[in-house]
Structure 1
Amino acid sequence: MKELHILFTGVGRRVELLQAFRQAALCLGKDLKIYGADVSNTAPALAYCDFSRIICGMREDHYILELIEICRKDRIDLVIPTIDTDLLVLAENKEKIEASGTKIMVSPLEKIRICRDKRKTSKLFDACGLHSPAPVDDWKAYKGGFPAFIKPRDGSSSINAFKVENVTELSVYAQQIENYIVQPFVSGEEYTIDIFCDFEGRMLSVVPRRRLAVRAGEVLKTQICMDRTIIREAKVLTEAFKPCGPLTVQMIRDEKSDRNYYIEINPRFGGGVPLSMKAGARSAETILKLLSHEKACCDMELADGAIYSRYEQSVCIDEGSAWGTKLIRQGSAGLSMTVSSLGIDRWKIKGVIFDLDDTLYPEKQYVRSGFQAVADFLEIKDAQKKLWSYFEKGLYAIDEFLKQIGREDLKAQCLEIYRAHKPKLELYQGVCELITELKNFGINTGMITDGRPEGQRNKIAALGLEDLMDDIIVTDELGGLQFRKPNDISFRIMQNRWRIPYEQLVYVGDNPAKDFQAARQLGMKTIWVAHRDGLYRK
């Protein structure tokens, strides 16, 4: 199964969107790695990415060069922009970015320009036979009556957008806002329409939502409203516009005439789109399927009438002197940690959860042991040494060795022997002492490890960890690959069993790329053990 790499630019606060893609990958059984790019290393959504990339501002001359370099190094399959200001520069450089082998979910340049200019947007609505408040760009020429609405011609997020009650107020705001437009104010229920199309502009889903409460242009409370008129009009608009990917449309149903007045278009995922996904719009799943060259999802059952309310949540980016991720550099001899040296007693820690491979024992021991089992089966002199040599070169050792001896027909048997063998393993020096000390302090000890259940259980038995640990979870036993870290379900299960607050739990692991993401998001402390001979050493 191909590992999919998606990069979200301007990721900022879009935590719910990332979670929607994680859930989609879980449902489809896809191996997804989420990359987030932002100008600030304190953007909260970065903590929910597998990998974070700090990039210069999109107005900088070298922004595109930096972005292309990130895409090249990280083998990004798809770039998904999340903010309006990114769209124009990405559309202008779409061919250059895609020439590097990365697709980008952004509509053609001329369509981005339509959306960025409120007057052009209004003309598009008119061309589709849809009602739109007629804009003028000179307050002195405005004849649409009051109240009126004044806003930047290329604005977003309701910034510098004001309702005015008379010509005097209008003249004052007109002096303060550059490049403005004035429109009649439409009073009524506000709607957002979340539309999703494939890369060629074919509509796959449309979800109208009533905006029950809004702050700074982003919805706080919303209700799914599968109104036939809105859906029909959205289809007309989409057929004319043909976006690449998402389209977020704002509309007001006039309380007097009951007409739908279309206000603006954002050709990106809106801030509230995860709510449409929760209601049944499978746009995140569709993207993963399209990247895997599978048929897109069209038949979607939506929760008409469902109401969603959003709330704020914090995530610790840097714990400073309080804790932070502790880095423990270890030699090949052992694990020189104690309760006191880790500050566990000071911070009232009540539970410590360990990773297994390269944290409690050297994983290379297991690899060597497995190669020896394969060598014994093949009965070929120096087979173990040759297998190890291929492994050190970064090759698929068993495949390469069988190819060399002309016995590729034995691959399935050799793999089964490797995976099922009873390994000869030893814990790092000091592990038993540390776990015993923790238990003497009344601290719960557990382990969360990824991998094939049979192989991981054989390792656990060989190391005698069942007698040492209070609790052990092999993530694959929960339901397959999708439950491996950074999925947080195993951490939630262990926390629920122990009934210890996340703030009083520590996770100890060797691979910061995947071990700490879930732990940090849940509020746990983390300790990075960097063994000199580990597979993930830096």
Structure 2
Amino acid sequence: MSRIRTLVFPCGAEAASEIAQALGRSVHVELYGASSRDDHGRHQFKRYAMVPNIADAEFDRCFAEQLELWGIELIFATHDTVLEYLAPRAAQWNVRLVNGDPRSTRITRRKSETYSLFEGEPWMPRWYRDLSAVERWPVLLKPDRGQGGQGVTLAHNRAEAKAALARLDEPVICEYLPGEELTVDCFTDWRRRLVHVGPRTRERVVGGITMRSHPHPCRDDIQHIAQCINDRLLLRGPWFFQLKADTVGTWKLLEVSCRLSTGSVLQRAAGVNLSLMAVQDHLLRDLQVLADPRLVLVERRIVSIAEFAYSFDTAYLDFDDTLICNGAANPQAMRFVYRLVEMGKRLVLVTRHAGDVFETLKAMRISESLFDEIVHLRNGEPKSSCIRKPAIFVDNHFPERLEVSRHCGIPVFDVDAIELLFP
């Protein structure tokens, strides 16, 4: 079975991280990443390229050349402006852009056009074309093409509103909605069927990104809004919309986006891999959703990745309190070991273990076949005596690391550092 050559752009966005995790091990996908700036995207995508910004006059030519070089079939755009820019160009490049209908991407990129399209619906917030039309204070002012809550200002009176308007580019004036906020992750298939509607809470938000979220019941009113949006826009693939409750608890629409949301990891945790569904939909397969209702919470955090400029062939690894801790295998260390195996590195276990190291490996359910060599030091000889460069050394004990560093001059790491290495 040939894999679908799939590009994520820009691949340093938070949504790109979700796509990388969702598709990185898929047997259906060969994953590529491109970015217009040097960021952590190059750590997440083995096949990676830098391209100009979409505002650059050379972007179209360079991007088309990269698509042809890689033989790309499918593109995930991870920013609304990029999605809108690529939408009218994808056909001429002979690729398919996930949820890339030009009209839909244009409308959803602008709150004014979104609000005009759905004007008159009971779930639409009141919005005003100028301050003279405002009938109730406070009001919310926000950029027409903003995202992530950037530039949003609450104005309690006309003076505050005028000051905010002077700071905003293409402002939209809306009624203030003080209630709970939801994001609703959706999926529309190639037959235009709305096959998934998954509301979730936005309980802790950092930089516009939901860091704590619970599934929320998909009641009839939310399902109705999703269906209305699906009926009036040409959608295909993952998309989302945001709701906020008004003073009496009625859900009102904030915005719609044609791309995968950064917080859709909650759906994947419950068994609904929206990124993979987009690939299956590209193959014109009929989709079924199997969401597990027992998923109750997703917490997110910032993840750090370390990079060092050193090429090595062999990793020397301590045993006690490194690969095993508190009478069991250390999961983080074992993940690191298997990552080294995947990279084709030679693995050497170097230990002063007091007992039979092979019996302990067996008791810890660690296969001795993981290691190319096992060195059991018994007479107090230094660990540096068995190390051959180029190599790295991992050991929880500082005196051991210091000795190896001084005598071998190779990178040495404590156990806490391995989570930063080779993600």
Q: Within the alignment, does 1:37 sit opposite 2:34 as a pair?
A: yes
* CA deviation string 1:148-200 (max 9, x = no partner): 10011122222211111111111111111122111110110101111112245
Structure 1 equivalent of residue 166 of structure 2: 175
1:79 match: secondary structure: strand
Structure 1 equivalent of residue 366 of structure 2: none
Structure 2 equivalent of residue 310 of structure 1: 300
CA contact (8 A) 2:33 2:42 kept: yes
Residues 509-528 of structure 1 mapped to structure 2, 5 A cutoff: 522-524=419-421
Shift in Å at residue 237 of structure 1?
1.6
Out of 65-74 and 167-176, give the one that drifted further.
Answer: 65-74
Residues 11-410 of structure 1 mapped to structure 2, 5 A cutoff: 11-14=11-14, 15-22=17-24, 25=26, 30-41=27-38, 43-98=39-94, 102-126=95-119, 129-139=121-131, 141-199=132-190, 201-228=192-219, 229-254=221-246, 256-291=247-282, 293=283, 295-303=285-293, 306-316=296-306, 318-319=307-308, 324-326=309-311
**Counterpart code for 1:36:** G
2:116 match: secondary structure: helix
Shift in Å at residue 466 of structure 1?
9.2
1:19 match: secondary structure: helix
1:53 match: secondary structure: strand
**Counterpart code for 2:37:** S
Q: Please give the TM-score of this superposition, normalised by the length of structure 2.
A: 0.74
CA contact (8 A) 2:98 2:278 kept: no
- Classify 1:196/1:467 alpha carbon distance in 2 versus 1 (closer, same or farther; 3 Å): closer
**Counterpart code for 1:326:** S
CA contact (8 A) 1:3 1:33 kept: yes
Query: Equivalent pairs: percent with the same residue?
Result: 18
* CA deviation string 1:66-124 (max 9, x = no partner): 222222111222110001120121012122122xxx22213321211211221211122
- Classify 1:75/1:174 alpha carbon distance in 2 versus 1 (closer, same or farther; 3 Å): same
- Classify 1:175/1:67 alpha carbon distance in 2 versus 1 (closer, same or farther; 3 Å): same
Structure 2 equivalent of residue 5 of structure 1: 5
CA contact (8 A) 1:224 1:304 kept: no
**Counterpart code for 1:117:** R
Aligned partners of 1:95, 1:106: CA distance in 2, in Å?
13
* CA deviation string 1:285-331 (max 9, x = no partner): 3223234x362322323426722121111112x33xxxx23278xxx
**Counterpart code for 1:307:** L
CA contact (8 A) 1:193 1:206 kept: yes
1:150 match: secondary structure: strand
Shift in Å at residue 467 of structure 1?
9.4
* CA deviation string 1:448-479 (max 9, x = no partner): xxxxxxxxxxxxxxxxx9995239xxxxxxxx
- RMSD across aligned C-alpha pairs, in angstroms? 3.6
1:92 match: secondary structure: coil
Aligned partners of 1:82, 1:223: CA distance in 2, in Å?
23
* CA deviation string 1:477-527 (max 9, x = no partner): xxxxxxxxxxxxxxxxxxxxx9969xx9xxxxxxxxxxxxxxx9943479x
- Classify 1:305/1:186 alpha carbon distance in 2 versus 1 (closer, same or farther; 3 Å): farther
Rg larger in structure: 1
**Counterpart code for 1:35:** Y
Residues 439-518 of structure 1 mapped to structure 2, 5 A cutoff: 439=350, 469-470=373-374
CA contact (8 A) 2:101 2:234 kept: no
- Classify 1:297/1:525 alpha carbon distance in 2 versus 1 (closer, same or farther; 3 Å): closer
- Classify 1:244/1:467 alpha carbon distance in 2 versus 1 (closer, same or farther; 3 Å): closer
Aligned partners of 1:199, 1:126: CA distance in 2, in Å?
27
Higher helix share: 1
1:121 match: secondary structure: helix
CA contact (8 A) 1:286 1:296 kept: no
Aligned partners of 1:466, 1:145: CA distance in 2, in Å?
69
Shift in Å at residue 135 of structure 1?
2.1
Aligned partners of 1:57, 1:279: CA distance in 2, in Å?
35
**Counterpart code for 1:40:** R
2:128 match: secondary structure: coil
CA contact (8 A) 2:267 2:274 kept: no
**Equivalent pairs, count:** 355
- Classify 1:204/1:67 alpha carbon distance in 2 versus 1 (closer, same or farther; 3 Å): farther
2:267 match: secondary structure: helix
Aligned partners of 1:286, 1:238: CA distance in 2, in Å?
17
* CA deviation string 1:369-407 (max 9, x = no partner): xxxxxxxxxxxxxxxxxxxxxxxxxxxxxxxxxxxxxxx
CA contact (8 A) 2:13 2:78 kept: no
Shift in Å at residue 8 of structure 1?
0.5
Shift in Å at residue 209 of structure 1?
0.9
Aligned partners of 2:371, 2:261: CA distance in 1, in Å?
51
* Structure 2 unaligned residues grouped into runs of 5+: 324-332, 354-368, 376-393, 402-416
Shift in Å at residue 338 of structure 1?
12
